[in-house]
Amino acid sequence: MARVLEFASGVRQMLPVLGLDPAAQGELADAVDQVRTEAGTPQPDSGRLRQVVKRLLDGLNQAAPTVAKTMLIAAGEAAQKAITGG
């Protein structure tokens, strides 16, 4: 779960520099909150986490090409692997 939470925190921190419009930033912030909520439960639903991490990655793909975006996508892919055990 640590990788998932690190990814979500990274997205939250980097939102201002990703070049996304306010609506897209809001959607990503909501998804970050959903990840934190689900990951904080005693028995996190891996299917739900996968869906929300995918939403975050899809949103990041709309961001301007920056080093932050590249790093976050790599962290998101690692989070997906951590969820699926891959």
pLDDT for 75 = 97
The domain ranges of the chain are: 2-84
User: Rounded mean pLDDT of 2-18?
Assistant: 95
Tens of pLDDT, residue by residue over 32-51, are: 999 999 999 999 999 999 99
pLDDT for 85 = 86
Residue 85 φ/ψ region, left for φ over 0, alpha for ψ in the -120 to 50 degree band, beta for the rest: left
How would you class 6 by CB atoms within 10 Å of its CB: exposed for 0-12, middle for 13-18, buried for 19 or more?
A: middle
Token couple for 46: 């891996």
Tens of pLDDT, residue by residue over 55-85, are: 999 999 999 999 999 999 999 999 999 998 8
Start-to-end Cα distance in the chain = 13
